[in-house]
Amino acid sequence: MFRYSHQLQFSAKPEKPDALYAMKVQELIGGQFGEMTVMMQYLFQGFNCRMPGKYKDMIMDIGTEEIGHVEMLTTMVARLLEGAPAEVTEKAVATNPVLAAVIGGQNPHHAIVAGGGAMPTNSQGVPWNAGYIVASGNLLTDFRSNVAAEAQSRLQTSRLYGMTDDPGVKAMLQFNLARDTFHQQQWLLGIQQLVDDGLADVLEDSRGSEEDQQQNHTFWSFSLDGSAAGEGRWASGTALVGDQPIEYLPEPAFLTDDDGLLPPPDPELFSTYDGDQGPGTPGDAAGARVQGAKNVATKIKDALT
Q: Could you tell me the pTM of the whole model? A: 0.81
Determine phi and psi for 219, rounding to 5 degrees.
-105, 120
**Strands 247-249 vs 218-220: parallel, antiparallel or unpaired:** parallel
What is the spatial distance between Cα 59 and Cα 50, in angstroms, rounded to a whole number? 12
Q: Are 85 and 103 in contact (CB under 8 A)?
A: yes
Residues making up the annotated binding site for Mn(2+) are 35, 66, 69, 150, 183
Residues making up the annotated binding site are 35, 57, 61, 66, 69, 150, 183, 223
What is the spatial distance between Cα 247 and Cα 273, in angstroms, rounded to a whole number? 42
What is the spatial distance between Cα 77 and Cα 72, in angstroms, rounded to a whole number? 9
Residues making up the annotated binding site for Ca(2+) are 57, 61, 223
What is the domain partition of the chain in residue ranges?
Answer: 19-196, 208-249
Q: Are 38 and 153 in contact (CB under 8 A)?
A: yes
Q: For residue 218, what is the enclosing H or E element?
A: strand 218-220
Q: Can you give 227-249 as a three-state secondary structure string?
A: CCHHHCHHHCCECCCCCCECEEE
pLDDT in tens, 203-253: 888 998 899 998 999 999 998 888 899 999 999 999 988 889 999 999 899
- In the chain, % helix, strand, coil (3-state, to 5) comes to 55, 5, 40
Q: Is the pLDDT of residue 81 over 70?
A: yes
Q: Is the pLDDT of residue 294 over 80?
A: no
Residue-level pLDDT at 101: 47
Q: Which fold has domain 19-196?
A: Ferritin (1.20.1260)
What is the spatial distance between Cα 187 and Cα 47, in angstroms, rounded to a whole number? 17
Which of 224, 222, 147 lies closest to 183 in space, CA to CA? 147
Please tell me the least confidently modeled range out of 53-67, 88-102, 149-163, 197-211. 88-102
| Average pLDDT score over the chain | 89
Q: Are 102 and 18 in contact (CB under 8 A)?
A: no
